[in-house]
Structure 1
Amino acid sequence: METERELSDKSPKNSQVLERYINLSSTVNFSYILLCSWEAFAVTFQFALYNGGPSSMVYGCILVMFGATAVAASLSELASIDPTVGAQYRWSANLSPWAPKFFGLLQGWITIFAWIINCAGPPSIISNIISALATFNYPSYEPKSWHIMLMMWPLIIIPFVMNLWFRQILNTFETIGGVLHFVFFLVSMITLLVLGKGSTNEFVWNNLVSDQSGWNSPGVSWGLGLLTVSFSVLGFDAVLHMSDEVKKVETRVPRSIMIACITNAVMLFAFVLTLLYRLGDLEQVMSSPLPLIPVFYQATGSKAATNFFVVMPALILFVVQFNALASVSRLVWAFARDKGLPFSNFFAYVHPKFKLPINALGLVAVISFLISILYVISTTAFNAIISLQAMGLCVSYVPPIVFILVRKLRGDRPAYGPFKMGRYGVAVNIIAIVYLIFIIIWLPFPQFLPVTGSNFNYAGPLLGVVILGAIADWFISGRKRFQVPVVRKML
C-alpha cells in the first residue's frame, strides 16, 4: 500500500520528486565503493599499530565481519519493508512503540549531523595523503595546515559540480569506480605478497600491542585498535538515501547493502593479513605519518611505484566523496520534506532542470567547506568535529533495529518485503545491537594518554550537544513542525 505522501509525490503537480534512473549495477557499486574498506584501513591503520597492533587488526576483522554483517542484514530487512530516503529516522518514527514522532526527529538530527560531517572526511584524508607523498618525494617540503585546507577545497568543489551537472553519468561512473576498487585491491595484494618483506606467524597472530599509547592495558588497547577496523566497514546505509532514484528499490537496495558489506569485509580481512605478513620494518612504518608509504617503499624500492600504490586509495576516496555528497544531499532533502529542518521548504526544493535537491546539495557542500576552514584555525577543532562521524553513524543504527526487534517480540511486526531473515531475524537483530553497543562504548575513548586538549576525543561530548540540540528543537517547534508519512504496512 502506498502512503498519502507517496501518492502525492506521483502527482504531476508535485515537483518535489526525484527521477528513478539508477540501475542494478550502479546500486550495488554505490555501496560497494562508498565503504572502500581496504582503502580506508590502508591510510589510517597507524592508529591500530599503537593500540592493539596486529592482534587487534586480525581478530578485530573477524569480529567486524560478523557484527557488521548482522547490522547490514537488519538494515536490509528494514529497507525492504520501507525503502525510503529518510531510512533510520523514518523507520524510528514508524516503528517506535514509545513517542514515535520524538524519536523520529531525534534520529533525523543525529543521522544528518553524522553524514554531513562524514562528507568532510574524504577530502581531509586525500589532502593528507597528498601532503605525505609530497614530503616523501621532496624531504625539504614542510606541510602547513593551510596547504591541507587549500587541497580540500577542490576535493569538495569538484564532486559538487559533478553531482550538479553530470548526474546522468552516475551509472557509468559507479561501474568504473567498482572495477578500480577491485583491481587496485588485487594489484596491491599481489605486489605485497611477491615483493614485501615477510613477518612471522607469531607477529601476525599473537602480537598484542599495549605499551605504545599510554594506556598500558591489553583490553583497552585491543578495543581501541578495533575502532580502525570497524570504521572501515561503516556507512552501508548511504545507498538507502538514494532510494527514490533506484529502480526496483525494494530488492536492489537491500541486495546492494549486503553485497557491499560482505565483499568489503572479506577484502579488508585479506588486505589486513597481507599487510601484516608483508609489513617490513615496523619501526619505519610506525614513525611515518602515512605508514602505507614505507610499506610499499620497502617492498618495491621505487619511489615511483610507491607513489602509484599510495595514490590508488586516494582515487577511490575521491569517488567516495562524489557518492557521499549525492547520498547526504538526498537525506537532507527528505528530512526537510518531512519538516524536520528549519527553512524546510527551501531545502526540500527539487530543481526542475537538474532534477536534484539542489539547495540541500549546496548546504552539504557549504558545511563541508566551512569545516575545512577549521583545519587552519585549529586542527584540534577540526579533528573534534570529524570524530563525531563514526559515533553518530553507529548510534543512528541502534534505534530502528531495537524498534523492529521489539515489534517482532511483541508479535506485531510489519509486513516483510522481498528481503527477510525469517526465523533468524530476532537473533541477527540482537547480534547487531550488541555489536553496535560494544563499538559505541570504545568510540569516546582517547587514543593516547595522557589526555591533552589536542588528543582528547570529542565524539561523546559533541554527540551530546547534537542530542541536546535536537531535544531543544523538539520543544521549541519540532513537535509541531515535524511530519512523517506513515507507511501502512508498518502498522
Structure 2
Amino acid sequence: MSEIKLTSDELRQRVLSNTGADGHLKTGEFEIDARTVAILSKRHQISKNFGFTSMLSFSTTVLVSWEAFAVTFQGGLVNGGPSTLVYGLIFSFFGSLATAASLAEMASISPTSGGQYHWVALLAPRRYAVLFSWFAGWITAFMRIAVTASVAFLAATMIQGLIILNYADTYVLQQWHGTLMYWAVTLFIVLINIFGVRFLPHIETLALVLHVVFFFCVLIPLVHLAPHSSPEYVFRTFANDGGWKGDGISWCIGLLTSTYAFSGVDGASHMAEEVDNAAIVVPRTMIWSIVVSGVLCFGMSIAILFSIGDANAALESPTGFPIIEIFFNATKSYAATNAMVSALIISIFFSALGLLASASRLIWAFARDDGLPFPQYFSHIDARFGIPVRALLWSAFIVVILGLINLGSTTAFNAMVSLALLGQYTTYVLPTIFILIRRIRPGKNIPFGPWELGRWGIPINLFTIAFSFLTIAFNVLPPYFPVTATNMNYAGVVFGAALIICAVLWVFKGQKHYAGPIKEVMENRNIRSALLRQGIEASHNHDVKIVAA
C-alpha cells in the first residue's frame, strides 16, 4: 500500500477525482485503504473560526506555563529543591517538546476533535483498534474534564488566598467558600464559551498578549525589589524534604512540578475542526506553544528562585500559595501584591476558558462516534452558536459536580484532579507506541499528513514513550514519606477506578455499539459509491454508515 500524505480534505478530493461515474476507484493512480478513508473523512459541522495566530494563542494560553509553575513550584522545592526547578525544568521541556512533536504528527494525520482516541483507532492493530480507541476516548474525556476542574479550582483558591492576605485578622477560611468561587469561575467560562464563541479567537489572541505582558509585569518588580538568593542556592542546591530515602526518587517526584507546567499540549488538537488548514496549523501551534512556554517558564523559574527570600516562610504561607508570600515580601505592598497575583489569576482564568472549550469538543466528537450514552443528543450542534452547546454544558456540569467533593475533603478533590497529569500521559503514550510500532515494522505504512517527523520519528517517539512512562510512574507516588491518609497520593487509585469504569462500560455498551471513530455521513454520491465498492455498508436513508473494513 502506498503512503498517503494528504489532509482529510485533500484525501476526499483525491477519492472524488479518481472515481468514475460508475463509482469505481480508478486504478494505477493511487491505492487507498477504505478504513483509512473512513477514519479521515469527517463531515464538517462546526464553523472554522481559528487561524494560525488565534490557534497559537489558544494552545499557549491553555498551557499557562509560567503561571502554573509560579503557583505550584512548592512541590519541586520540597522534593529536589532548586536543582529540580532548574535542571528538571529543562528536562521536562525537552520531554514535553518530544511529546508535542509526536502528537503533532498524529494531529496532521487525522486533524479531528477526537484526538487521541481517533489516532489510536487509526494506528493500532486492526484487531484491537476499537477496544483501545474506546479506552483512549474515555480516559481522555476523564482527563480533559479533570484538567478543566483543576485549573478552575486553582483560580478560585488563589482568589481565596488573596482574601486571606488582605483580611488575615477577620477572614476565617472555609472549604465551601472555595467551592463557591470555583463554581463562579465555571459559570463565567461557560457563558463566555457560549455567548462569546464568535469572538473566541480574538479573546484567545488577547489572552496571549496578556500572557506575555503579565510575564514582564511580574518579573520586573520581583527581580528588582526582592532580596536576591546566591547563584549557589539557585543552581547547586538539592533538597529532600519529602522524607524519601532515595534522593533520586525525591528528585523525580519534584520533576512533576515542571512537567505540570507543560501539560495539556493536546488541547489544540481537539479544536482542529474549527481551524483552517488544520493538518498544518494545529501541529505547528502545538510545537510553538511548547517553545514559547519553555522560554517564559524557564525565565520565571530563575526569577522566583533568586527572589524567594526565606523559603521556609514562603512554604508556610497562610494563603496556601508561596508565590503570594514572595510577592508581598518583595513589594511590601498589598496593592502591588494584589495586582501581581491578579495577573496570574486572569491568565489561569483564560486557560480554564480554553480547556472547557477543548473538553466539550472532545465530548462532542466521542458522542458523534457513539462512544457516549445518548450520542444523538450530545453530538448535536446548536444552529444559533455553531458549537456543541449540549456537550459543553454537560462538561461544565461534571466540573461543577466535582466541586462537591471539595466540600467533604480537599484531599479527595486533589486526588480527582491529579488524574489530569496521569491521564494525559497515558493517552499520550498509547498512540505514540502504535505509531512507533508501525514505523519499525516493515509493511506497516503510515498515512502521514503534510507535517511529519521523517527520519527523526523513531528517536522522538522513543523519547516520548520513556518520558511518559517516567511521568506516569512517579505521578502515583505520594509527595511525602511516611505516608498518611492526609498526604497519600490517590491518583493511582482514582485512575484505576476510571479504568474499571471504562471496562464495565465496554462490556455493557462499547462492544455492542461502538465501532470506533469511523461512522460518518458522506454526502457526495461518487465518494459514497467508491467507498461502497470497498465494502462499506450503506444505511437505509442512502447516507453512508462507515464501519471497519
Q: Is the 8 A contact 1:204 1:277 kept in 2?
A: yes
Cα deviation, 1:225-282, whole Å, max 9, x if unaligned, reads: 1111101100010011111111111111001100111110121111111111121122
1:317 aligns with 2:348: yes
1:69 aligns with 2:91: no
Distance change >3 Å, CA 240–CA 215, structure 1 → 2: same
CA–CA distance in 2 between the matches of 1:156 and 1:216?
A: 41
Distance change >3 Å, CA 219–CA 46, structure 1 → 2: same
- The corresponding residue for 1:148 is 178
Q: Is the 8 A contact 2:71 2:322 kept in 1?
A: yes
Equivalent position amino acid for 1:483 in 2? A
1:371 aligns with 2:399: no
Distance change >3 Å, CA 48–CA 444, structure 1 → 2: same
- The corresponding residue for 1:14 is none
1:238-317 to 2 correspondences below 5 Å: 238-288=267-317, 289-317=320-348
1:56-455 to 2 correspondences below 5 Å: 56-97=84-125, 98-140=127-169, 141-210=171-240, 212-288=241-317, 289-411=320-442, 412-455=444-487
CA–CA distance in 1 between the matches of 2:311 and 2:218?
A: 19
The offset of 1:217, in angstroms, is: 2.9
1:484 aligns with 2:516: yes
CA–CA distance in 2 between the matches of 1:245 and 1:274?
A: 37
CA–CA distance in 2 between the matches of 1:417 and 1:7?
A: 13
Equivalent position amino acid for 1:41 in 2? F
**SS of alignment partner, residue 72 of structure 2:** coil
Cα deviation, 1:153-198, whole Å, max 9, x if unaligned, reads: 1100111011111100112101110000011112222222222211
TM-score relative to the length of structure 2: 0.85
**Which structure's CA Rg is the greater one?**
2
Identical pairs, percent: 37
CA–CA distance in 1 between the matches of 2:500 and 2:469?
A: 20
Q: Is the 8 A contact 2:134 2:516 kept in 1?
A: no
Equivalent position amino acid for 1:147 in 2? H
Q: Which runs of 4+ in 1 moved over 3 A?
A: 2-8, 485-488
The 10-residue stretch of structure 1 (308-317 or 463-472) with the greater mean CA deviation from structure 2: 463-472
Cα deviation, 1:362-417, whole Å, max 9, x if unaligned, reads: 11110111111211122222122111111001111011111011111113232322
**SS of alignment partner, residue 68 of structure 1:** helix
TM-score relative to the length of structure 1: 0.95
CA–CA distance in 2 between the matches of 1:408 and 1:315?
A: 43
CA–CA distance in 2 between the matches of 1:261 and 1:347?
A: 32
Equivalent position amino acid for 1:111 in 2? T
How many pairs align? Answer: 483
Equivalent position amino acid for 1:414 in 2? I
List runs of 5+ in structure 2 lacking aligned partners.
Answer: 1-10, 13-36, 520-530, 532-547
Equivalent position amino acid for 1:172 in 2? H
Distance change >3 Å, CA 215–CA 7, structure 1 → 2: closer
**SS of alignment partner, residue 511 of structure 2:** helix
Cα deviation, 1:423-442, whole Å, max 9, x if unaligned, reads: 11111110111111111110
CA–CA distance in 2 between the matches of 1:93 and 1:5?
A: 8
**SS of alignment partner, residue 446 of structure 1:** coil
Equivalent position amino acid for 2:370 in 1? K
CA–CA distance in 1 between the matches of 2:248 and 2:39?
A: 50
**SS of alignment partner, residue 9 of structure 1:** coil
1:48 aligns with 2:76: yes
Q: Is the 8 A contact 2:129 2:516 kept in 1?
A: no
Equivalent position amino acid for 2:346 in 1? L
The offset of 1:483, in angstroms, is: 2.6
Q: Is the 8 A contact 1:404 1:413 kept in 2?
A: no
Q: Is the 8 A contact 2:271 2:361 kept in 1?
A: yes
2:504 is aligned, of 463, 472, 480, to 472
- The corresponding residue for 2:494 is 462
CA–CA distance in 1 between the matches of 2:200 and 2:423?
A: 27
1:26-37 to 2 correspondences below 5 Å: 26-37=54-65
The offset of 1:95, in angstroms, is: 0.6
Q: Is the 8 A contact 2:151 2:352 kept in 1?
A: yes
Equivalent position amino acid for 2:274 in 1? E
The offset of 1:304, in angstroms, is: 0.8
Equivalent position amino acid for 1:448 in 2? Y
The offset of 1:449, in angstroms, is: 2.2
Equivalent position amino acid for 1:208 in 2? F
CA–CA distance in 2 between the matches of 1:261 and 1:461?
A: 30
Equivalent position amino acid for 2:58 in 1? F
CA–CA distance in 2 between the matches of 1:320 and 1:326?
A: 10
CA–CA distance in 1 between the matches of 2:173 and 2:239?
A: 30
Equivalent position amino acid for 1:338 in 2? D
The offset of 1:481, in angstroms, is: 1.0
The 10-residue stretch of structure 1 (214-223 or 402-411) with the greater mean CA deviation from structure 2: 214-223
The offset of 1:66, in angstroms, is: 1.0
The offset of 1:103, in angstroms, is: 0.4
Q: Is the 8 A contact 1:65 1:266 kept in 2?
A: no
Q: Is the 8 A contact 2:113 2:269 kept in 1?
A: yes
CA–CA distance in 2 between the matches of 1:8 and 1:142?
A: 53
Distance change >3 Å, CA 343–CA 36, structure 1 → 2: same
